[in-house]
Every structure is written in structure tokens, then in C-alpha cells.
Amino acid sequence: MQLHVITSLSIAFWGLQLAAQTAEEPKKPFADKFELHGYGEMTFNVFDWETYPDKRNNIDLNRIVFEPEYAFSEKGKLEMEIEFEHGGTGATMEFDKFEEFGEFEMEIEKGGEVIIEELEIAWQAKPWLELKAGRIAVPVGHIAAYGEPLDYMTSTYNNMEANLIPAAWYENGIGAEVEWKKLAFELAIISGLDNSAFSSANWIQRGNQSRFEYVNAEAFALAARLDYAIKDDVVFGLSSYTGNSTPNRPKPDITADGVVQIVDAHLHAQFSAFTFNAMFLSGTLQNAATISEANRNLSNNLNVKRTPIASAVLGYFAEAGYNVLSCLEKDIHRLDVFAGYYYYDSMYKTSGEIFDNPRWERSEIRTGLNYCWNKNIAIKSDYTFRTIGIPDLNKENTFTLALAYHF
């Protein structure tokens, strides 16, 4: 209840401050206040999976994102991300071999597949303090800071992070960012998760209430991030998330708290032609066995997996890349060679009678080439050698070719 009151009062206060400031400033032409940027990616995947020999190769327009920005005043602005996913809108049918018992699953995307990922009003209250409200980015993990296709080495998001938590994670709420010398601190009070959508394969990844027209706000969550710039292009940081996921279920069918806690440590380093990234993530879920039992009885119409959920997950990765064309003076072309190791177990620890399924312990070696002929367009390719925690028929290898762009 206290978080509800704090959130409401904060949004009202910032709105009044921004309105007052805007009224005092002279009007500028619309063109001087408006900017439009964007990015996107398209991928082609070839699968060689012993666990699923009939898995079909695919090609997909993963996403194209438009980022309009409007400056209300010198200190206030509106930022948006409008995302078009998979080249269309409407309902889709997905074959799920592992979590839907080999049946087709109907994927009904909220609002089709055109999504307002971000919509925030930001106010630069002080040179060192920015306040924001709306649908904001959750400041947890590596992707939160390096989430555009030209920001990361791999052809798609790293699988460690994308299989444990929401990869492009936005929630409704308020936040504050503080920058002081080499430190950057971010704090956010945001809408909480819904544990009816948690699963064996992806833990809390689908729990951010994107299936419904409205987001339940019976419980809020707290996210925080602290980054330290060791050098200009060397940043080490920590982030955390905590929130009760039970009150936001579609129906009040259980009373046991489902507090989700996540901590991570992350590092990004850029030394001229050399790039290095690393991350460690640990997460826990309270009363996972009780929630798993309740989820087994959910309706098929909810579009959830209804599989057992881990009480703890673990993941980490390290990757390094080198621009082999760096020896060419004043050349805008890049050819990055990279390799990385990724480990993630979405059933790392279980409670009660839940089986610790080794199917969901995954290890990857991923290596590839990225060619950029300017700063806005890249052709990316990589090969993923993945093994799972069962002794036989455990290989899931994938070749990916991607076109990534920014405008």
C-alpha cells in the first residue's frame, strides 16, 4: 500500500513540476523539439538439435523499433519505443515439444505484435539527477544497458540472460538516475511480476504480465543498479530486483508469497579494437513448490506453460571480441571476431517434490563474425554449440545469420 501511495504522489509531483517549467519557457518550433531514431534486426537460423531432430530452420524479421523523442522543455522530454515484432500482427501458433507435451500452443499477442515497449516522461531535475515516470526500462542485467542489435556481439540476445529473465524488460512505474563522478546509480519502483507464467525452461521470463490488456498492480517491485566507470569504456556494476509475484496472478487463487529476488554482477570493457563482456546472475523464488502446484490447475486459455518452477536459478557468461581491421587507419569498416561461453540452469535448485530436470541445465560455446561497413549497418553470424545436462542426445547446435541496423 505504501508503494502505491509513493508512486501516485511522485507521478503527480513530477507532472506539476514539468508543466510549470514548460509554461515559463518560450515556445520553439516542433521540428526543433522532435527526434526520431530506431533499430531492427532480421535473422536466419539453421538448427542441428539431437533433442529435436525435426526442428525446422526459420527466417524472421525479429523486430523493428521506432524511437520518437519530444522535448517539452530544456529539462523535460517524452521518450517512446514502438516495436513491431515478427513482421505482422495477430495470433500465432507455436509447436512446443518440451513444455506443451508435443502439442501446438496458441500464442495470442497483446495488441497483435505492435508493442509500446517504452513510454516515459523524463525530467532533468539537477545536472546529476534525472527523474522519470511511465513505462520504463528495468535496470537489471547486461541487456538493460546494451540492448540494441549493434550493441551486443552475438546475432541475438545472449541466451543466458534471455532464458532466465525478460530480455527487453520494461514495466510501469517511476525511477531516478543519479550520476556522480564515476558512479551511476538507478532506482525504480515498478509493477510486479505474475508467477502464473513462470516455467521450467525460462523461469520468470514470461512473467511480466504482457498477456493481458491491463497490468495487475496489487504488488510492486523494487529494482536498483550501481555502475562504476573504472575508465571511460570500462564499466563494472551490480543490479538487483525484489518483488512479490503472487498478488499479481490473474485470480487470487493462492495466498503463499512468491517473492522473486535477483542479483547480478556485470562488466563491459572496450579497449580500442578489443571488447569484453561478462555477467553473473543468481535468482530465487519463494514458495516455488506451492506456486508450481497451483499453476498445474490453470486454464489452457491463459497461454501459460504450467510446468514446475525452480526455487533458484544460476547463470553466467564471458565473451570477447577483436576487430581484425583495426590496423587500417581511418577505416570505418569493422570485422569483429568473437567467442564466448554461456551457462544457465533454470532449474538450478528445486523444493518439495519438484524434479530437478537436467534438461534445463544448458552450456554454450558461441563464436562468430560481425562485419560493419558503417556505424549503422552490420551483418552478423555465429554458431552456437550447446549441450544440455542429460548424458545422451544432448546437443542443440544453431547457426544464425543476422542483419542488424540503426537509424
What nine digits make up the cell of 265? 554482477
d(CA 187, CA 178): 9
What nine digits make up the cell of 70? 519530444
Instruction: Locate the DSSP E strands across 272-325.
Output: 274-285, 312-323
Instruction: Write the CATH number for 187.
Output: 2.40.160.10
Q: The whole model's pTM is what?
A: 0.88
- Nearest of 209, 220, 216 to residue 244 by alpha carbon: 220
Q: Tens digit of pLDDT per residue, the chain (407 long)?
A: 545 545 554 554 555 455 555 555 556 676 788 999 999 999 999 999 999 999 999 999 999 999 999 998 999 999 999 999 886 565 544 545 665 545 545 555 443 478 899 999 999 999 999 999 999 999 999 999 999 999 999 999 999 999 999 988 999 999 999 999 999 999 999 999 999 999 999 999 999 987 777 899 999 999 999 999 999 899 999 999 999 999 999 999 999 999 999 999 999 999 889 999 999 999 999 999 999 999 999 988 888 899 999 999 999 999 999 999 988 766 678 999 999 999 999 999 999 999 999 999 999 999 999 999 888 999 999 999 999 999 999 999 999 999 999 99
DSSP type of residue 203: B
d(CA 85, CA 103): 24
d(CA 205, CA 344): 13
Residue 339's CB is within 10 A of a number of other CB atoms, namely 15
Backbone angles phi, psi at 333, to 5 degrees: -75, 150
pLDDT digits (tens, 9 = 90+) for 81-102: 999 988 656 554 454 566 554 5
The pLDDT, as a whole number, for residue 9 is 46
Backbone angles phi, psi at 358, to 5 degrees: -65, -10
d(CA 167, CA 137): 11
Q: Residue 360's domain spans which residues? A: 2-406
d(CA 205, CA 162): 7
- Nearest of 321, 366, 320, 322 to residue 343 by alpha carbon: 366
d(CA 35, CA 239): 30
d(CA 110, CA 89): 9
pLDDT digits (tens, 9 = 90+) for 292-346: 999 999 988 888 899 999 999 999 999 999 999 988 766 678 999 999 999 999 9
Q: How many domains in the chain?
A: 1
Above pLDDT 70, what percent of the chain? 86
What nine digits make up the cell of 5? 501511495
